[in-house]
Structure 1
Amino acid sequence: MTASVFEISRSGMDVEWLRVTTIAQNVANMNTTRTGNGLPYQPVRLVSGPKAVFSLEEPRRLGGPTGLSGVQVYGVERLRVPPRMVHEPSHPHADANGFVAYPGVDHAGEMTLMVKSLRIYEANVAMANAAKQMYTKALEIGSRG
């Protein structure tokens, strides 16, 4: 069982859309000292990888998957980064020394990852469009005969 180029492209777009959403969540909460449950915000990262296909019809090669059909999300993991400590003695969440613990979100790193994810998304759109053009051209050639 093999996936079409459109299924593969779509899975890539879906994963990158979720990655951008996760990055946006980190950036939006980079100045959040407490969440709704009273705990500090922990930055998160989307974990993704190849989507393996196992088929009962085809023998497994070395016990592994029979093919790949795009990518998938494996989950979201919390990043273990130290908080960013800022001296703000008048802040209601300041500690005894006047420091406030903000999430350890690296703004430049998050924005870089967002640009990378958007480029991957665009590449998947271009791949789907190229496949569509090739299929259309093949149909045109086939209809001439």
Structure 2
Amino acid sequence: MSDVLAMRALLALLLVLVLTPALADDWRRYDNARFGYSIEVPPGFAVGREADNGDGREFRDGATKLAAWGGTIFEDSFEAAVAAAMASAEGDGWTLTYRSVTPSWASFSGMQGKRVLYQRMVAGCDGQYAAFRLQYSAADITRLDPVVNRLVRSLKPGC
């Protein structure tokens, strides 16, 4: 009897190992026509309405909100545009706890009560940028860390 249980457990483990990558790849790609950027959207996120000006779209999974957008850099540099975005987040009540800024990409995150914000911006061509912002419950940090990492890797500016 124990051999039968061991075989069933092994079969169940093999099924999980085979099916997990397939389930993990239910991500879909969003391409923005106006700014030419793309980003992968996690499974389970409902597609919101495209912005009236065509710069981006929102996606939701319960209380978790993902916004993706593109824009034109009106400041002197990409880094100055990032500084303005961080100042805007702080003005909206976010306490920024992480900042990393380079000439071609930037990420910052923060807290507002029990909510977490993670924002990524990447410089594009001709003075443009692409960005995403993920807002979620602090209780979901461990579950959403791999989602954030994949979003970061998937955000590609238009060029």
TM-score past 0.5 threshold: no
Higher percent of residues as helix: 1
Range of TM-score over shorter length? under 0.3
Please report the TM-score for the alignment, with normalisation by the length of structure 2. Answer: 0.24
Q: Higher relative CO (CA 8 A, sep ≥ 6), structure 1 or 2?
A: 1
